[in-house]
Structure 1
Amino acid sequence: MEETLSMVGKAKTNANIGEGLLESSGSKCKSVVEWNQVGGFGGTMSTIVKMLSEVNINRKHNMILRPKMITNDHHPEVVVFSALDSILNSTLDTLKLVRESISWTNIDDYNYSLKSRSYTQHVDTIKNLSLQGKLGVAWWLRNKTMVKGVIPDVVTHNYLINGLCKVGELEKAEWLVREMSSRGPSPNSATYNILLKGYCTINDIYKARDLVSSMIVDGKENMVTSNIIIHHYCKKGRITEARSLLMKLTDENSKKNLVASTTIMDSYLKNGDASLGLTIWGEICAKQVDVVAYNVFIHGSCLNGDVIVAYKFVNKMFKTGLLPDRFTYNILINRLCKLRRIDEALYLYTVMSRMGVDPDRVSYATLVQGLCMIGDVDMAHGLLNRMLEKSMVPRPVTWNLIIDRYGKQGDKRKALYIRDQMMINGVSPNVFTYNSLIHMFIKGGEIDEARSLMKEMLVAGGPLPDTVTYNLLVGAESKYGHLYSADEVYEDMKKRGYKPDVITYTELIRGYCLRGKIKEAERILYIEMLENFSLVVVDHVPFQILIKKYFKVSDFNSAYGVYQTWFNYVGANKDVEPAEKNVLDGNNHVAERPIGNLLDLCTIYYTMGHPYFDHHVKMVNDALYVNGVNNVIVAETDQWLDVEEDMA
């Protein structure tokens, strides 16, 4: 950089000399003066290039004028232009060196000068740029150093290749590896393994296998290579191929890859194939087994619900001289909590502390979740306080579990206290926190408080509400008969871009039916919900609510129409549960037998859980007796009553 400043100083001096000569000769040429006026070459590269262009134009102009002036014997001018021409030649050479030493605009911040830095600084800069994701600048810098005869080592190239693979630029990474092979430095095993991982990331298994084959031929394949390709196969569920590939990659005379074998065993156990998992375990036991292999098998046993086997392997760990680590205890505690065996989980928690293994956030969070599951929220609160005493700030999910449980128990004071403690410890409440509190207030009948929390989310910079938040408010307003407010919340939901789901429509239909506004309920069902059926997964509940309402007002024809709509919808919708579809398929004769509509509706009503089945059977019989078809329907009714007894 000192050399650069020296060159710039010379250029300034030459420019000042030229300016004096121009003034003495009375010339109107201002090029050199203008260069000096831009700040002593302190402008941007674009300004310098512009000045260079002007210098070239004026220089050509001087060359044209010189013969004419000599012919006219204007000797002073000849002297001036000869001096200026010499100055310009020197200045242009100086500016050329300045331009080469100035970095382009994208790397001005680095103040980089190739001549003033050592080799270590060059490669460190390329590595840092690659890690920061500034691959364009790193690529340019790598090329520039190679032009200057400085070739970055293979580790530096690996950093750049890794950055390219992370952003999906596999073609550039491939080109760089090929150039390394031809110009140096030669790629090593790490280079090929990085490229292999890139292929696996984009799921290009064919190129991955070809690369592995070439690595084996060149002697570049190692255990890391096996681990990468085996992990990818297992991740895609191709466990058999992974095992076969491991057999090919592993030399029988060398130590087998413990990590790859453990990965395959883990995949078998996660898929519920305990027998093959045990087979792989036998192969692993032929090698030196570590704690990770034990943890994998213990985790697989817990996933398959076999805690006894998990305990047996813990005992084997002690016998072989291996001690369970934090992961071992967390695996067992997690499974015991899911089985609601909280006492055993708490006992393991005390054991791990006595064994010198400190519980971490996962340990505490798992126990808090288990305690909240069985309703022991006070003990969960105690564990939360213990975490804070150990300077472990829980994640939002742990706070939310306790807030939700206190809310469900109706303890508003403690729920709000936990929320305040959450904020004091620097954890911002999220949408799940607000939903738990809103549900608590709605359950207690405090709709105004629930509205205030919703407004806080929308106005006061809190987390934005989600569909669950809106459904809670829609359901509460509908339940308490505030249909206008429920409709306002529903419209605001759509206005803000949220998609109503089946719960939203069900709550609106329920509210209108409770207030006897069946036409509005039909509008929600037929227009709002079913017209968007491709976007909404619909179950039987909204139909059931409307059918029950029609039965209560003895409007059997409308009830049957809703049933037919439900049946037609189920026939076209694959998202409805098979049990519901089977019930409807069993009643497919309804459309062919109009005289049995009421009887079939009665059966559907029973199937949907109505408590007054006998009453409605009598009502159907009375209605049909008036129509003079008593004998036929009574027999059929007896059959349905027999069905009722069988179902009972």
Structure 2
Amino acid sequence: MANSGFNMDGYTLGYFAQLLCKAGRWRDALRIIEEEEFEPNTVIYNKMISGLCEASLFEEAMDFLHRMRTNSCVPNVKTFETLLTGCLRKRHLGRCKRILTMMITEGCYPTRSIFKYLVDAYCNSGDYIYAYKLLKKMVDCGYRPGYVVYNIFIGGICGKEELPSSDILEIAEKTYYEMLDAGFVLNKVNIGHFAHCLCGAGKFEKAFSVIREMMIKGFIPDNSTYSKVIGFLCRASKVEKAVLLFEEMRKNGIVPDVYTYSILIDSFCKAGLIEPARNLFDEMVRDGCAPNLVTYTSLIHAYLKVRRVFNANDLFERMLLEGCIPNIVTYTALIDGHCKAGDIEKACQIYARMRGNSDIPDVDMYFRSDGSNFIEPNVVTYGALVDGLCKAHKVGEAFDLIEAMSKAGCEPNQIVYDALIDGFCKVGKLDEAQEVFTKMSENGYSPKVYTYSSLIDRLFKDKRLDLALKVLSKMLENACTPNVVTYTEMIDGLCKVGKTDEANKLLVMMEEKGCCPNVVSYTAMIDGFGKVGKVNMCLEILRQMNGKGCAPNFVTYSVLIKHCCVAGLLDEAHKLLEEMKQTHWPRYVAGYHKVVEGFSREFVASLGLLNSITEGNTMPIAPTYRILIDNFCKAGRLEVALELYQEMLTTSSVFSSADRNTYSSLIESLSLALKVEKAFELYGDMTRRGYIPDISVFFCLIKGLIKLNKWDEALQLSESICHMDIYWHPWEGTINKS
């Protein structure tokens, strides 16, 4: 063109320069402009800046902006918008801030569309504070943000998976109310997102008000909107509010789907509200909404947790009939639940069913399918079954299962090893437990407190005290701090073999190591001192307990009263009874069960407390009174014994078979003390309660009558014994009705 003698006009030159800049040849563009002797203007510069931005040469583009000013060319809106859109496209947001500031300062305002893109870009980058400033800049430039921009901003904050910080959520709330004042509303998606975030911040009432405000403005919430908020309320344990929203949802004609039902049912189950969960389950079925795997599994798991195995089985059968295939979570819950309920045989059957093996005897409902569905157990499944087998004392089978588990490529974890070690310890197979202990260490698992506790407990039961103390030392060497259970097991073990001084030293050491003894620890120590006749030390331990803020409980007092009686400290025992009644007497069965938590079954049974609670489901007060009454009788202090007897009558309306001995003790003592009239009163009370006295009671009554020269009454009683339809076993001191 130049060789033919033609010059480019401004339009042609501008596009040619733009193409050269786009190719990165901006120097050639400048040279051609000079050769053409063309004075660059704003249009030419804008074309060149556009080309440079398309080539992502932003530094050069900014340089051309400065060249414009040097050459007395004034940048216009097009110049700045070209720079802004180029930088936005490549997400050079820092430059965008500088360009926008420069643009507005020079009186050039971006279009509404540019503002929209800027707000979207800064929201996507997480710079919500600057995005909010852009809304204000829009107003300063004479624009209202409008429906689209407001939704971009609030949706940008609330539409992410993670919840926004409280400061950022406040900005979203502020913008929401500004939007309402401007006459705009959120779209359907953002209503759900915004309400979800408000719930996440605990602002449940605000979330509800957002939905209601939008409804007033014509928005009809759908299942998705309600489900999001209900889901979050449930995850935040606000089940009552979730139910209210669920009811509102149905009132508004929105039909809940399986997700909404399932999340509510799951939340009810986790809160222990099994009946409401089942009612909702039945309701969803009536409404034609088919439960899914999550629905069934949640309810099955809840039933199993409260040992309602029959209900869980029934629901599982229904699940299979409906064609809903169980997964590993369902099977694991069933296996674990049956193990915890003590039905290890059923748990093993479920395990076989899961693996597709139905060729076992006594096939029940779990094996009605054709066995074509095979599900590989995971470590949690194996762990549940191993623990169940061990608790059923089937440690051999548990060990075999672990071998099979390893062969299947599923390595045991810490929990599985701990269960097996504890199982071997419980059945007295200490050598096998130590083998598993070694194997666990070789496989990279460090023994935990529970592991050591199982070994220590077994060693004490086997009276291998030296080895138990070595295990404790090893435990400390490995920086595994014993907990209160471990220390208490050792204290109890030492006390059981009469090594109370060593046990007391361990109690002191326990505190020095920062582990506070609990009521079980102190009670074990009191019982230990009592058994070796050191009742003064028992009382000292009681004082220590009170001084350290560890209140003695019902079991502690029962132990202490028993040992005071044995030592002849009857007044002290009586005083302890009064103290216990005022402060530490559990009024209800639930309270009693809480009190004995932590004590071994054998220990509670040794105090006579176990039978009392199981026989009458009432408070086990009689054993403590029996001990006191018996000892006051032996000491000849019958007035106190009778007072205690009257107290026992008023405190407990239910008596066990052991109370016959209390009657016998009182009647015999009263007869020998020539208080025969009172003895006969008790005899009458005893027979009214359905107890048949021992033959020795009759002998004592007859002796008492003879000593008072009441021969006629003595003969009458003797004759009545002969006519009783009773077969006597004098050598056992008992009687049987023939």
TM-score interval w.r.t. the shorter chain? 0.5 to 0.7
Q: Secondary structure at the match of 1:507?
A: helix
Change (3 A) 1:146 1:484: same
1:386 and 2:476 correspond = no
Q: Secondary structure at the match of 1:462?
A: coil
Q: 1:68-87 maps to which residues of 2 (within 5 A)?
A: none
Preserved contact between residue 233 and residue 241 of structure 2 (Cα < 8 Å): no
Give the aligned partner of residue 416 of structure 2. 363
Q: Secondary structure at the match of 1:273?
A: helix
Preserved contact between residue 510 and residue 545 of structure 1 (Cα < 8 Å): yes
Kindly state the Cα deviation for residue 646 of structure 1 after the two structures are TM-superposed.
1.2
Q: Secondary structure at the match of 2:374?
A: coil
Q: 1:449-488 maps to which residues of 2 (within 5 A)?
A: 449-458=502-511, 460-488=512-540
Give the aligned partner of residue 142 of structure 1. 172
Change (3 A) 1:502 1:424: same
Preserved contact between residue 513 and residue 549 of structure 1 (Cα < 8 Å): yes
Change (3 A) 1:456 1:555: same
Give the aligned partner of residue 455 of structure 2. 402
Give the aligned partner of residue 262 of structure 2. 227
- Structure-1 separation of matches of 2:574 and 2:543: 18
Preserved contact between residue 553 and residue 585 of structure 2 (Cα < 8 Å): no
| Structure ranking higher on relative contact order (CA contacts 8 Å, 6+ apart) | 1
1:531 and 2:569 correspond = no
Give the aligned partner of residue 281 of structure 2. 243
- Structure-2 separation of matches of 1:141 and 1:582: 77
1:344 to 397, 402, 425: 397
- Structure-1 separation of matches of 2:261 and 2:452: 42
Decide which structure has the larger Cα Rg and report it.
Answer: 2
Change (3 A) 1:580 1:483: closer
Change (3 A) 1:268 1:466: closer
CA-to-aligned-CA distance 1:548-603 (integer Å, 9 cap, x gap): 323434555544443232222213xxxx7777799999999999973415757999
Kindly state the Cα deviation for residue 432 of structure 1 after the two structures are TM-superposed.
1.1
- Structure-2 separation of matches of 1:501 and 1:558: 24
Preserved contact between residue 441 and residue 449 of structure 1 (Cα < 8 Å): yes
Kindly state the Cα deviation for residue 210 of structure 1 after the two structures are TM-superposed.
1.1
Change (3 A) 1:547 1:481: same
- Structure-1 separation of matches of 2:265 and 2:173: 35
1:276 and 2:314 correspond = yes
Kindly state the Cα deviation for residue 121 of structure 1 after the two structures are TM-superposed.
13
Preserved contact between residue 162 and residue 194 of structure 1 (Cα < 8 Å): no
Preserved contact between residue 567 and residue 584 of structure 1 (Cα < 8 Å): no
CA-to-aligned-CA distance 1:471-499 (integer Å, 9 cap, x gap): 12222333333333322221222233333
Letter in 1 for 2:735: E
- Structure-2 separation of matches of 1:504 and 1:124: 59
1:197 to 209, 221, 234: 234
Change (3 A) 1:214 1:390: farther
Kindly state the Cα deviation for residue 191 of structure 1 after the two structures are TM-superposed.
2.5
Preserved contact between residue 621 and residue 633 of structure 1 (Cα < 8 Å): yes
- Structure-2 separation of matches of 1:634 and 1:533: 47
Q: Secondary structure at the match of 2:309?
A: coil
Give the aligned partner of residue 543 of structure 1. 625
CA-to-aligned-CA distance 1:133-179 (integer Å, 9 cap, x gap): x64x3432433566899x996786466335234xxx43233235556
- Structure-2 separation of matches of 1:293 and 1:623: 71
Preserved contact between residue 196 and residue 228 of structure 1 (Cα < 8 Å): no
Give the aligned partner of residue 263 of structure 1. 298
1:506 and 2:544 correspond = no
- Structure-2 separation of matches of 1:473 and 1:306: 37
Q: Secondary structure at the match of 2:240?
A: coil
Q: Secondary structure at the match of 1:393?
A: coil
- Structure-1 separation of matches of 2:705 and 2:191: 91
Preserved contact between residue 676 and residue 701 of structure 2 (Cα < 8 Å): no
Preserved contact between residue 598 and residue 620 of structure 1 (Cα < 8 Å): no
- Give the paired residue count: 517
Preserved contact between residue 424 and residue 433 of structure 2 (Cα < 8 Å): yes
1:441 and 2:494 correspond = yes
Q: Secondary structure at the match of 1:645?
A: strand
Preserved contact between residue 226 and residue 245 of structure 2 (Cα < 8 Å): no
Letter in 2 for 1:630: A
- Structure-2 separation of matches of 1:126 and 1:144: 17
Change (3 A) 1:208 1:371: farther
Letter in 2 for 1:594: K
- Structure-1 separation of matches of 2:461 and 2:436: 20
Preserved contact between residue 557 and residue 576 of structure 2 (Cα < 8 Å): yes
Kindly state the Cα deviation for residue 438 of structure 1 after the two structures are TM-superposed.
1.4
User: As a proportion of its length, which structure holds more helix?
Assistant: 1
Q: Secondary structure at the match of 1:498?
A: coil
- Structure-2 separation of matches of 1:251 and 1:185: 22
Change (3 A) 1:233 1:160: closer
1:552 to 634, 638, 660: 634
2:244 to 176, 192, 207: 207
Worse overlay, 614-623 or 467-476: 614-623
Preserved contact between residue 404 and residue 437 of structure 1 (Cα < 8 Å): yes
- Structure-2 separation of matches of 1:580 and 1:521: 21
2:130 to 110, 114, 117: 114
Q: 1:39-78 maps to which residues of 2 (within 5 A)?
A: none
1:334 and 2:350 correspond = no
- Structure-2 separation of matches of 1:194 and 1:145: 25
Segments of structure 1 that go 5 or more residues without pairing to the other structure are 1-109
Q: Secondary structure at the match of 1:646?
A: strand
Change (3 A) 1:412 1:259: same
Letter in 2 for 1:281: M
Letter in 2 for 1:175: S
1:566 and 2:618 correspond = no
Give the aligned partner of residue 706 of structure 2. 625
Give the aligned partner of residue 76 of structure 1. none
Identical residues among aligned pairs (%)? 21
Change (3 A) 1:534 1:316: closer
- Structure-1 separation of matches of 2:665 and 2:283: 54
Kindly state the Cα deviation for residue 468 of structure 1 after the two structures are TM-superposed.
1.2
Kindly state the Cα deviation for residue 358 of structure 1 after the two structures are TM-superposed.
1.7
Kindly state the Cα deviation for residue 180 of structure 1 after the two structures are TM-superposed.
7.1
Segments of structure 2 that go 5 or more residues without pairing to the other structure are 1-125, 135-151, 180-185, 357-370, 593-619, 729-733
Change (3 A) 1:300 1:509: closer
Change (3 A) 1:126 1:289: closer
- Structure-1 separation of matches of 2:687 and 2:719: 15
Q: Secondary structure at the match of 2:274?
A: coil
Change (3 A) 1:507 1:290: closer
Q: Secondary structure at the match of 1:375?
A: coil
- Structure-1 separation of matches of 2:209 and 2:178: 21
Preserved contact between residue 265 and residue 280 of structure 1 (Cα < 8 Å): no
- Structure-1 separation of matches of 2:238 and 2:666: 50
Kindly state the Cα deviation for residue 411 of structure 1 after the two structures are TM-superposed.
1.8
Give the aligned partner of residue 735 of structure 2. 645
CA-to-aligned-CA distance 1:198-244 (integer Å, 9 cap, x gap): 686343575043145268x457x443312112224444122541332
- Structure-1 separation of matches of 2:677 and 2:278: 56
Preserved contact between residue 438 and residue 472 of structure 1 (Cα < 8 Å): yes
- Structure-1 separation of matches of 2:639 and 2:666: 17
Please report the RMSD computed on the Cα atoms of aligned residues, expressed in angstroms: 4.7
Preserved contact between residue 630 and residue 665 of structure 2 (Cα < 8 Å): no
**TM-score, length-normalised on structure 1?**
0.66
Preserved contact between residue 484 and residue 516 of structure 2 (Cα < 8 Å): yes
**TM-score, length-normalised on structure 2?**
0.59
- Structure-1 separation of matches of 2:429 and 2:484: 24
